[in-house]
């Protein structure tokens, strides 16, 4: 619920502090996105305060969506809000030209003044398309490689038209992972579901699609999987070997738990004794592997083994496919997932390979333990 779009919350520092943070991040090859809330404001924002104080005489009255009567009644909530229940989140009328110009200017301001690298846009599907097109035009004019990602819980094809967002939060993929690792669907249904998901959007959107296991709006992945560290680790393996751009919600890499918002927003667990080191090492290994193999974001995906009876699912990622740049060096990586409770042999094409997770070698097939996985590259 933004109270000031133009100033950093004094509890966190100053505008200059943010610019310094971004500068230091860039020196470490880290990019910084801001979270933009343009669907609604907070009740302490100057424009809404003015409407509450002056009523129909306020010059900002048309900046808000569907005020039923004046004066604005904070108790009766006679105005449109986010989710129709959050009285402190009055909904913004982004069709209003003056408000649109103000908010689009905010998108540009933080890029020019703090050199931020883009925006994650909250409740993006409830803001009109004309606003997002104007927002993109202004942001890209300020920084052509700025990254714009929208919050979307379902099919977001209307926002990935090349004129609005570069990416969306890929919650449909998360839904499939949860059902699979909870054993609510067998490997065959998971494979079919994720194949359909991979074809939801134009191929050009594939490299930037934000795959995620959780966020500040959901329960944490380990809690969603009944506290199972093994299954949370399998989820991480699926995430870090998927196409697109993986989002790691802070703390998931050490196995933190947390229920629905706000419980999922607990402070970071910094005590190594309370961190799940096996999960952490898996994240480290696969993030390193991903940095060494940038083609994982856009490369081909091929199912290799689907065995519902033994709960085995294996797939091959490769540097081939329609998005492969010319003269790409052929590479491949196999992933074998055992979501069952018993060890199982997995038969893969012939070839000597190294399991990145264990350091062990395999010739063709491999035995994968219960609730475990192997990530194999040519030895």
Residue 167 lies in a domain: yes
Q: What value does the mean pLDDT take over residues 108-136?
A: 97
Cβ count near 347 (within 10 Å): 14
Question: CA torsion sign, 104 to 109 to 115 to 121?
Answer: negative
| Tens-digit pLDDT profile for residues 54-80 | 999 999 999 999 898 999 888 888 989
**Could you write out the DSSP letters of every residue in 144-183?**
TT-EEEE--SS--GGG-SSSS-SEEEEHHHHHHHHHHHTT
Residue 303 lies in a domain: no
Q: What value does the mean pLDDT take over residues 77-98?
A: 91
Residue 249 lies in a domain: yes
Residue 153: its pLDDT value, please?
A: 92
Residue 20 lies in a domain: yes
Residue 73: its pLDDT value, please?
A: 87
Residue 307 lies in a domain: no
d(CA 58, CA 99): 14
Q: What value does the mean pLDDT take over residues 131-148?
A: 98
Which residues have a Cβ under 8 Å from the Cβ of 274 and sit 6 or more positions away? none
Residue 45 lies in a domain: yes
Residue 64: its pLDDT value, please?
A: 95
Q: What value does the mean pLDDT take over residues 223-232?
A: 99
- Helical axes 129-142 vs 97-114, angle rounded to 10°: 30
Q: In terms of Cα–Cα distance, which of 373, 372, 371, 354 is closest to 363?
A: 354
- How many domains does the chain contain in total? 1
Q: Is the pLDDT of residue 357 over 90?
A: yes
Residue 306: its pLDDT value, please?
A: 98
Residue 245: its pLDDT value, please?
A: 97
Residue 84: its pLDDT value, please?
A: 79
Residue 369: its pLDDT value, please?
A: 98
Arithmetic mean of pLDDT over the chain: 96
Residue 297: its pLDDT value, please?
A: 97
d(CA 375, CA 334): 6
| Tens-digit pLDDT profile for residues 262-308 | 999 999 999 999 999 999 999 999 999 999 999 999 999 999 999 99
Q: Is the pLDDT of residue 191 over 80?
A: yes
3-state secondary structure of 96: coil
Are the C-beta atoms of 316 and 353 separated by less than 8 Å?
no
Question: CA torsion sign, 123 to 125 to 126 to 130?
Answer: positive
Higher-confidence position of 185 and 365: 185
d(CA 218, CA 259): 8
DSSP structure class, residue 90: B
Q: What value does the mean pLDDT take over residues 105-122?
A: 98
Q: How confident is the model at residue 38 (pLDDT cuts 50, 70, 90)?
A: very high
Residue 212: its pLDDT value, please?
A: 98
Residue 66: its pLDDT value, please?
A: 87
Side-chain half-sphere exposure of 110, counting CA atoms within 13 A: 27
| Tens-digit pLDDT profile for residues 237-270 | 999 999 999 999 999 999 999 999 999 999 999 9
Q: What value does the mean pLDDT take over residues 15-23?
A: 99
d(CA 88, CA 91): 10
Residue 312: its pLDDT value, please?
A: 99
Helix, strand, coil share of the chain (percent; to 5): 40, 20, 45
Predicted structure pTM score:
0.94
Q: What value does the mean pLDDT take over residues 335-349?
A: 98
Residue 75: its pLDDT value, please?
A: 85
CATH of the domain at 48: 3.20.20.80
Residue 86: its pLDDT value, please?
A: 85
Pairing of strands 352-355, 147-150: unpaired
d(CA 119, CA 320): 31
Pairing of strands 361-363, 352-355: antiparallel
Cis preceding-peptide flag for 262 (omega within 30 of 0): yes
Residue 335 lies in a domain: no
Distances (CA, A) of 40 to 58, 59, 333: 18, 18, 44
Residues tagged active-site: 122, 151
Residue 228 lies in a domain: yes
Q: In terms of Cα–Cα distance, which of 118, 121, 147 is closest to 132?
A: 121
- Domain with 42, as residue range(s), is 15-298
Cis preceding-peptide flag for 187 (omega within 30 of 0): no
Q: Is the pLDDT of residue 85 over 80?
A: no
Q: Is the pLDDT of residue 1 over 90?
A: no
Q: What value does the mean pLDDT take over residues 301-329?
A: 97
Residue 350: its pLDDT value, please?
A: 95
Q: How far apart are the first and last CA of the chain?
A: 52
Are the C-beta atoms of 245 and 210 separated by less than 8 Å?
yes
């Amino acid at each position: 619920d933004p109270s000031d779009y133009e100033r950093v919350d004094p509890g966190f520092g100053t505008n200059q502090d943010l610019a310094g943070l971004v500068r230091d991040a860039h020196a470490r090859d880290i990019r910084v996105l801001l979270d933009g809330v343009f669907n609604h404001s907070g009740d302490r924002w100057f424009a809404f305060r003015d409407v509450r104080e002056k009523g129909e005489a306020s010059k900002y009255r048309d900046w808000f969506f569907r005020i039923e009567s004046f004066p604005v009644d904070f108790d009766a909530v006679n105005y449109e809000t986010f989710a129709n229940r959050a009285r402190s989140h009055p909904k913004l009328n982004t069709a209003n030209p003056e408000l649109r110009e103000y908010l689009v200017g905010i998108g540009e301001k933080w890029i020019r003044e703090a050199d931020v690298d883009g925006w994650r846009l909250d409740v993006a599907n409830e803001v009109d398309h004309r606003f997002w097109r104007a927002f993109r035009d202004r942001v890209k004019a300020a920084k052509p490689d700025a990254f714009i990602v929208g919050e979307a819980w379902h099919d977001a094809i209307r926002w990935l038209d090349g004129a609005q967002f570069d990416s969306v939060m890929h919650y449909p993929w998360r839904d499939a992972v949860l059902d699979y690792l909870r054993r609510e669907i067998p490997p065959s249904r998971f494979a079919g579901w994720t194949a359909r998901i991979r074809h939801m959007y134009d191929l050009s959107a594939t490299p930037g699609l934000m795959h995620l296991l959780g966020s500040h709006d959901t329960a944490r992945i380990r809690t969603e999987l009944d506290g199972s560290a093994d299954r949370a680790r399998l989820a991480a393996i699926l995430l870090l070997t998927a196409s697109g751009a993986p989002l790691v919600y802070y703390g998931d890499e050490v196995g933190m738990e947390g229920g629905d918002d706000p419980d999922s927003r607990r402070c970071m667990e910094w005590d190594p004794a309370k961190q799940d080191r096996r999960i952490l090492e898996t994240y480290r290994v696969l993030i390193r592997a991903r940095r060494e193999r940038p083609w994982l974001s856009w490369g081909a995906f091929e199912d290799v083994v689907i065995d519902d009876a033994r709960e085995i699912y294996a797939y091959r990622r490769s540097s081939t496919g329609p998005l492969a740049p010319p003269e790409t060096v052929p590479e491949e990586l196999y992933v074998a997932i055992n979501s069952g409770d018993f060890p199982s042999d997995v038969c893969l094409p012939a070839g000597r390979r190294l399991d990145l997770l264990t350091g062990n070698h395999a010739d063709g097939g491999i035995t994968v333990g219960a609730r475990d996985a192997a990530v194999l590259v040519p030895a």
